[in-house]
Amino acid sequence: MKQFLRNIFWFGLILLIGLSIKKMVTPFYLGNSAFKAKVKSFQKTSQHYNTIVFGSSHSYRQFNPSIFDSLMTDYNLSTYNIATAGTFNPESYYLYEHFLKTLDKDAIKYAFLELKPLNFYDWENTNTTRGSYWNTTSTLYYALNYINASNYDKIEKFNLTKIYLNSFLNSFVDTNILKGLFLKPSVRSKTGFVPLDKELSSKRRNNEFTLRYKTFHADTTVLKERITAARNIPQYYNSKDINKVHLSHLKYLISKSEQKGIHLFLLVPPRLKDNEYQEIIPLLNELPKGHSLELANYVENKTFYKTKNSFDIGHLNLKGANLFTEKCAELVMKKLQIP
């Protein structure tokens, strides 16, 4: 019996060491195949770019580098959109921070990163590679402190804590991530930008996007919810209800960017839900001047909430994306003039 227990102990120890080594040596982006494709493409031609965009589909599908660079001619920018669908806080923050480590100082001038609340996601997703690969010890520490500092009720805090703990554990035991070493996903655009309109003619995923498009345009009254959320933004500007853990982490990312010679812009996109704005808008006044870009306020950005510029309830079409990019360029130029 003692020998059996010893064997179990040594087997468990060797397994734990092996899984820990696996996690340490696995490329930081391996669990996100779309991001892997983009970062590999960027690395091959990195000398051609000095500006980078990180975030979810709100950036991937709406930030057009060609438009942006054409409007920022005085700054001689060349932008690559490395954002990927479904990439939220903390995954997006994790990817950005680790991406910084791969850069030489002054290789990039500017970076854009979506400002989003901590992601709520389903328990089932915590057991997937995509839902856990980014959950390192430091990410878990950030997430748990974020949850503790939040205004979520006790049940929400308990459920979120369970989700992030399970995700962290899965990141150790998950071996499916190693399949990513052999995948060679392709990049669909030289600039990394692919508007949602293009998916309507895509045979690969036509049904999903066509359904989203048709469902929304059959009843555009659902957009009123997002318009109401955008109208509510002004009441959050001077709110002191701030998640200090989130704020501290954003300042940390700004500082790490500056060490690499990068000016980081934290971007608030349009068409989010009211509870998201309620949480992130108060952070803007607490961030260092010149680092926040808010493009969601309905009064100043009505064009982003018009049906003719919409693909679905949460996203702009190509016309809307180009207008969004133009507005972003306008705000960036103003920010860069702030001493």
List 265's β-bridge partners, or say none.
112
pLDDT tens, position by position, 317-336: 999 999 999 999 999 999 98
Q: What is the pLDDT of residue 12?
A: 45
128/75 Cα distance (integer angstroms)? 42
Structure tokens at 83: 């954002």
| Torsional sign, CA 305, 196, 318, 217 | negative
Q: How far is CA 82 from CA 189, 269, 311, in A?
A: 11, 16, 21
Say what angle helices 2-25 and 154-173 make with each other, to 10 degrees: 100
Instruction: Write the Ramachandran bin of 290: left for phi over 0, alpha for psi from -120 to 50, otherwise beta.
Output: left
The pLDDT tens digits along the chain (339 residues) read 655 445 454 444 444 555 555 566 678 899 999 999 999 999 998 889 999 999 999 999 999 999 999 999 999 999 999 999 999 999 999 999 999 999 999 999 999 999 999 999 999 999 999 999 999 999 999 999 999 999 999 999 999 999 999 999 999 888 888 788 777 777 788 999 999 999 987 565 557 899 999 999 999 999 999 999 999 999 999 999 999 999 999 999 999 999 999 999 999 999 999 999 999 999 999 999 899 999 999 999 999 999 999 999 999 999 999 999 999 999 999 998 855
Measured CA to CA, the distance from residue 89 to residue 257 in angstroms comes to 17
Span 247-306, pLDDT tens digits: 999 999 999 999 999 999 999 999 999 999 999 999 999 999 899 999 999 999 999 999
| CA 161 – CA 158 distance, rounded (Å) | 5
Q: Which of 103, 97, 78, 85 is nearest to 35 (CA)?
A: 85
Check if the beta carbon of residue 161 is closer than 8 Å to that of residue 116: no
Residue type, 14: I
Q: What is the identity of the amino acid at 233?
A: I
Helix (H) or strand (E) segment spanning residue 178: none
Beta-sheet strand order (sheet of 263-268)? 79-81, 51-54, 110-114, 263-268, 292-294
